[in-house]
Amino acid sequence: MDVSNYTIATLGSHSALQILKGAKDEGFKTLCIAKKGSEKVYKSFGVADEIISVNQFSELFSLQDELVKRNTILIPHGSFIAYMKIDDFKDMKVMYFGNKDVLEWESARDLERQWLTEANIKIPRIFETPEEIDRPVIVKFYGAKGGMGYFLAKDTKDFYEKMTHHTNEKYVIQEYIIGVPAYFHYFYSLLTNELEIMSFDKRYESNVDSIGRISARDQFALKKIDPSYVVVGNIPITVRESLLPEIFDMGERVVEKSKELISKRGLFGPFCLEGVITPEADIYIFEISARIVAGTNLFAPYSPYTYIKYGEPMSTGRRIALEIKNAIKENMLSEIVC
C-alpha cells in the first residue's frame, strides 16, 4: 500500500517536528504550515516536504482547497486550540485526525469534570465560590496559555487580594494537591481497540521550578515572589512500576466512558491525563488533553515504554502516522478522520 498519495500536515509549533518526522518515517508526504520567521526551523530539520508560510495560524482555513487537493490529513496539537476557535474546525473540509466532538468535552471545565468523575477518576475539589475556600487552592483562568496568571491562595481573603490584578476573567478555584506533578501519555487505537501507555513527563515551569533555588530567607527578603506556572519545557519521567496498573486502568476508564458520553465513538488516538501523585500514591487528575501533548516531544525516537512494546523507534507522532497507515490499508480511514 502506497501512502505517499497522502500528505500529513500540521501547524508549525508545539509538536510539529515530532509529528512530521513520524509521518515521514511511515512514508507519507509532509506539509508544515509555519508562521513567517519560523519556517527556517522546519526547513533546517528536514521534516517537511513542503512549507506554507502564513502570518497567522488561522489562515489555515483559507488554505483548505490547497490542502484538499493534496489529499491532506491534518494532525491537531496544542496550538490548534490555543490560537483558534473550536467552532471554526467543525465545518472544515480537510480530513482531521481524531474526533472533533471530543474538543467540547475537554475544553469546557464542567463537561471535563463530568467525564472524569463518571470514569471514576479522582479530581481535585472545585470551590464554586471564594467564600467556600477552606484549604490551599490554585486559581486557574480559562483559556490560559500554558499556566499564565495562575495563583495560589490560602483563604478567601488571600483570594480577593490576589484577584485585584484580574478583571472580568473566567476562572476556576481548585483544591491545591500536594504531591508531584505527572503527565500520563496514552494512545488508544480504534482499529485494534487497544490502549497503549506511551510515556510520562513533568513540565518545567517558570518560576515554580526555580523558587527552590532561592533560600526561604531570601524569598522573604525579596518579598513578593508569587509562583507562576508558565511552561517552558518538559522533563522525562518513568513511574514506579507498581503504579502502572492503576495508570493503565485510568486510561481505559476514560476511553470507555467517552464512548458513552461523546458521539462518534468517543475518544481515540493520543491523549493525556494530567495530575498530581500524593505521598499516599493517590493519583488526582486536574486536566485531560484529547490530543498529542508536547511532553511526548521527549520521546522521539522512543520512550522506555514504546521501546519495550515495539522494539523500534515509536514516538507518539509516529504512532499517529502508523494508525493512519493501518486505517488506509484496511480501508477504514473514514473511521478515524472527520
Residues engaged in binding ligand AMP (CB under 6 A): 13-14, 78-79, 82, 124, 138, 140, 145-147, 174-177, 181, 203, 205, 229, 231, 233-234, 274, 276, 286-287, 294-295
Question: How many beta carbons lie within 10 A of that of residue 207, not counting itself?
Answer: 15
| 130 vs 147, beta carbon nearer ligand AMP | 147
Min dist CB 227 to ligand AMP, Å, is 9
Min dist CB 263 to ligand AMP, Å, is 26
Burial, 109: exposed, middle or buried (Cβ in 10 Å; 0-12, 13-18, 19+)? Answer: middle
| 81 vs 247, beta carbon nearer ligand AMP | 81
Residue 311's alpha-carbon distances to 42, 122, 303, in angstroms, are 28, 34, 11
Min dist CB 297 to ligand AMP, Å, is 6
How many residues in total does the chain contain? Answer: 338
Residue 6 DSSP one-character state: S
Min dist CB 105 to ligand AMP, Å, is 16
Min dist CB 249 to ligand AMP, Å, is 21
Residue 60's alpha-carbon distances to 46, 65, 143, 151, 199, in angstroms, are 22, 10, 21, 34, 30
CA pair distance 58, 66, nearest whole angstrom: 15
Q: Packing angle between helix 244-261 and helix 109-118, nearest 10 degrees?
A: 120
Residue 13 grid cell: 509549533
Q: Report the relative pairing of strands 50-54 and 29-35 from DSSP bridges.
A: parallel
| 83 vs 310, beta carbon nearer ligand AMP | 83
Min dist CB 5 to ligand AMP, Å, is 29
Residue 236 grid cell: 522525562
Query: Helix, strand or coil for residue 56?
Result: coil
Min dist CB 327 to ligand AMP, Å, is 26
Q: Packing angle between helix 316-329 and helix 16-25, nearest 10 degrees?
A: 40
| 35 vs 100, beta carbon nearer ligand AMP | 35
| 294 vs 327, beta carbon nearer ligand AMP | 294
| 6 vs 105, beta carbon nearer ligand AMP | 105
| 14 vs 24, beta carbon nearer ligand AMP | 14
Q: For the chain, what is the radius of gyration of the CA atoms? A: 21
Min dist CB 17 to ligand AMP, Å, is 12
| 96 vs 176, beta carbon nearer ligand AMP | 176
Comparing every residue's Cβ against ligand AMP, the nearest one is 146
Residue 74 grid cell: 491534518
Distance of CA 85 to the CA centre of its chain: 16
Are the beta carbons of 78 and 15 closer than 8 angstroms? yes
